Chains A and B, each alone.
Chain A
Amino acid sequence: MDNNTTNHQPQPTAYPPHPTTTTTTPPPGGAPSPTPFHHLLQQQQQQLQMFWSYQRQEIEQVNDFKNHQLPLARIKKIMKADEDVRMISAEAPILFAKACELFILELTIRSWLHAEENKRRTLQKNDIAAAITRTDIFDFLVDIVPRDEIKEEAAGLGGIVGATASGVPYYYPPMGQPAAATGGMMIGRPAMDPATGMYVQPPSQAWQSVWQTSATEDGSYGSGGASGGQGES
């Protein structure tokens, strides 16, 4: 698969696109037609880039380093569970509080993509298993999710690919704009139903709470853009 030729990075950032998206395992059945698959992968990549872009902005604006979303003492305990760890600088748990927040967010986003592919609104353990399988840097987590959940995921991918021309795991398309939008910060393009090749309801506004302050087209969030709220929040 030749992701790199179509992989355009919106801005010259110091943060390369998430490595995973360029190394995602091709579907077992073999990608029948790389283009739609590519395209959706690219969208996913863009979304993740948006996520990181937003996080970077947030970090520039942080003023409060004292109040965290995760308890520092607990973080420290977890660090100290490692016998080789002797002393911990005061800043390390603070940094981990931020790092874990990013980690939880990223893992959740990726898991949610799988839930949406399966048209569910409830995030389940197998969604997390899927995210772990699909993301190289999450390899260290494989032992946490049972093998059968992962196998299910792989079979699912194979099934989808085998069955449809578009071939894809419906990687999460961006929200907001009508189908014609290209590249950049597309948000709102409805998900394509691989079975019919038609655009179905837009993916949920998973990002709304995150992107609202940074989105350039806020209007599209309310109704999910052109496709409106078909069964959508």
Chain B
Amino acid sequence: MGGLEKKKYQRGSATNYITRNKARKKLQLSLPDFRRLCILKGIYPHEPRHKKKVNKGSTAARTFYLLKDIKFLLHEPIVNKFREYKIFVRKLRKAYGKSEWGTAERLKDNKPTYKLDHIVKERYPTFVDALRDLDDALSMCFLFSTFPRTGKCHVQTIQLCRRLAVEFLNYVIASRSLRKVFLSIKGIYYQAEVLGQPITWITPYAFAHDHPTDVDYRVMATFTEFYTTLLGFVNFRLYHSLNLHYPPKIDGQAEVEVKPAEGKEYAMDSESYLEKLSALSASLARVVAPTQEDDVEMDEFPVEGETAEQMDARRKEQEALEKHKKLFEGLRFFLNREVPREPLAFVIRCFGGQVSWDKSLCIGATYDVSDPSITHQIVDRPRVEQQVVGRYYLQPQWVFDSVNAKLCLPVADYFPGVLLPPHLSPFVTEQEGDYIPPEKLKLLAMQRGEDPGEETEEEEEEEEEEEEDDNDKDEEEEEEDESEKEEEIKLKKMEEQKAQSNKALPVKVTAGKVRLEDKQRLEQEQQSEEKRLAIMMMKKREKYLYKKIMFGKKRKIREANKLAAKRKAHDTALKEEKKKTKKARRA
């Protein structure tokens, strides 16, 4: 036979992958450096399709990187920077060891730094790519901006994160691109739509973290390093897309308002600037002053292959969106000091509302509690002592629920001290067969323009009342005279006897009906049997797949049924309790 014999594992998929240790050796990096490089460059292990082949016959658990990825890392300029930094640290340590302070100073002056701009550009060749991957970046920046300024990570990082986060919030306000908000037990989820891309991020509640010990902050810091760079560039671009200044400037007239009235220095200039910005109450300055002509209606170009109906639907959607954006337009809110200021101010401002708070709470308050033009005051305490006429006192959930429902919900359910209706997740879109909580059904009906919620409630109440009345009457009757009851029993017995005799007579009629049902059932049975027999003939692999799918479906149904049953039990229990309390009240 001609040619050299090919050895095993020297071609095919085995040559496309490389294990982590080998990759590290090839790059001549230590493990932490390799980790940093992977994080910054976005290199991740791949799961080979045939793991055993790639693993050269062994089944040991190994992580594999694509060989191409690693080769691509070989030419990364940052690798050299890592090496330089290592040398720098060594020199510095030496200088300190020899107490050569001058050398140490000189070395510190020339501390090697690196920039991640090119990596951002490389990982996200287009701006939309970057937007798609913004979720984690935002969540991380929001988390880091809540860290204490001591320990854990550099103060500069925290400050930068805070700045970038606030800038992004201001952009969302300016562009009115917030769509959904969700108060979960983990934190607050926001979803904004930026250039058609949904961006979801989570912010923790404003409490001090008890920092866990089993978390490697170096990994998180490396991620944050990249994310801050990314977010900075994204912010820059976003601000410029709205003709806003970057770094953001507070609008001239707004600035005057924001300035504390006493004229005292509030804080250092740089700090107060960020704080004013993070107050989220002032609009931002534009590069070009906005003119009325900007609102020229867009010409519509019909897309080919689109029917009139589709176009109509699209237009309607557009209108709904515009309406949603102006949800709180014209409303003036006042936040009490016990409600979380930042999320509420952000959400309200995103939908065009005006918002203020107590002057002593935070900088940037624009009007006072006593302002008569306030329409809604957000309160989170059991009751309000001094109520001003002409404004609603509401719990904060109203704001969030209204945003998610895309309409201002009826306020009655959200008064202070009232048991709140459940807060539903706006991220759930129920498909057919899923369990839909009754509150959601009500909401959907309301969105469709119907107003069945209250009616049904009233009806229910009426029914309840009627039932109660009946019960009461019955009881009364029972109490009043038992002789009637006996008569009733007699009558009932008579009726029963009659019914029985009736049943005995028309045999044919019932028989006919039964047969009809039987036919249907027989048909069904036959069909199900056919199906069973066909399933018996399935191939092993297909049968496995089929069983898996059916198992999943059945589980889904089971879960939905379970939820429904739970709800029913809960509702009946609630009703009973209501009745009891009502009775008690009546008694």
**Does chain A bind chain B?**
no
